[in-house]
Structure 1
């Protein structure tokens, strides 16, 4: 397959992951870029975010609204609307919405990954019991080249 024209109006069905306090929409699935990138927009509830993890893909996150605390490898920092954060391949990362309102960000995964299947599965595994401490989560992540390394951030 080759890259093709795509226009997303933001009407994609959401994937809701209560354990992360997030609603995600796959804005650009990887087949449309010949596997080069995937773009996911997220709304993150106050006090929520993903646990410490490591992807095999690089991530570029653009903060659309709100304020987040990030941890990338051994560095902790705050990012606000308009900021861009690059997480290199295989770097550890986590973030937390530190505001009092839902915050939005857009994440580009390079190369692309099947984010719809990945996050849909996360919802099922984490929601089946144990949340981020579920013993099934590590096995699930391994199939995707994702390691779950610790709890969510706290400010």
Structure 2
């Protein structure tokens, strides 16, 4: 059986769109395919956008930049990560990032152990349907997923 490659159109058709944080996200490998050991997602982040500062109670995230450049902050330390470079945010670290390119930047994010990214990001999309929600709403969503939101998104400054 020949492996089947996913083309750009298929990825776009399956993306979860969250305009409030400039994110289009596609789940490439579900945790069920790795016996719960990992999840792989691809993100496409609009210029100047990124997630609020947060920390995971269970997961480590490994970010591999495919296109563009990001400014990351992990436990208070900032670092620019460009295409071809990788950064790890270990479980329990506070982290956030922002796309500092003039165009959409892309990265692969390996999440370990596996995480139901489709359900989480669909719920996040719903909570952010009218823009950035109030902190209490974000905290309720985070508590369900053992993700603590602890600050605003990073700016490119």
Give the Å deviation of 1:133: 2.8
In 2, Cα distance between the equivalents of 1:7 and 1:61?
A: 24
Map 1:12-27 onto structure 2 (within 5 A): 12=11, 13-27=14-28
Contact 1:27–1:39 (CA<8 Å) still a contact in 2?
yes
The residue number in structure 2 matching 1:92 is 94
Contact 2:20–2:131 (CA<8 Å) still a contact in 1?
no
Name the stretch that deviates more: 85-94 or 131-140: 131-140
Secondary structure, counterpart of 1:100 in structure 2: coil
Structure 2 residue 6 is matched with structure 1 residue 9: yes
TM-score by length of 2: 0.90
TM-score by length of 1: 0.91
In 1, Cα distance between the equivalents of 2:34 and 2:5?
A: 13
Unmatched tracts of structure 2, length 5 or more: none
Contact 1:125–1:134 (CA<8 Å) still a contact in 2?
no
The residue number in structure 1 matching 2:55 is 54
Contact 1:8–1:28 (CA<8 Å) still a contact in 2?
no
In 2, Cα distance between the equivalents of 1:105 and 1:84?
A: 9
The residue number in structure 2 matching 1:43 is 44
Unmatched tracts of structure 1, length 5 or more: 1-5
State the number of aligned residues: 149
CA shift in 2, pair 1:123/1:8, >3 Å: farther
Contact 1:51–1:132 (CA<8 Å) still a contact in 2?
no
In 2, Cα distance between the equivalents of 1:7 and 1:146?
A: 34
Stretches of 4+ aligned residues off by more than 6 angstroms: none
Map 1:6-155 onto structure 2 (within 5 A): 9-10=6-7, 11-12=10-11, 13-56=14-57, 57-127=59-129, 129=130, 131-154=132-155, 155=157
RMSD, matched Cα:
1.5
CA shift in 2, pair 1:91/1:8, >3 Å: farther
Secondary structure, counterpart of 2:122 in structure 1: helix
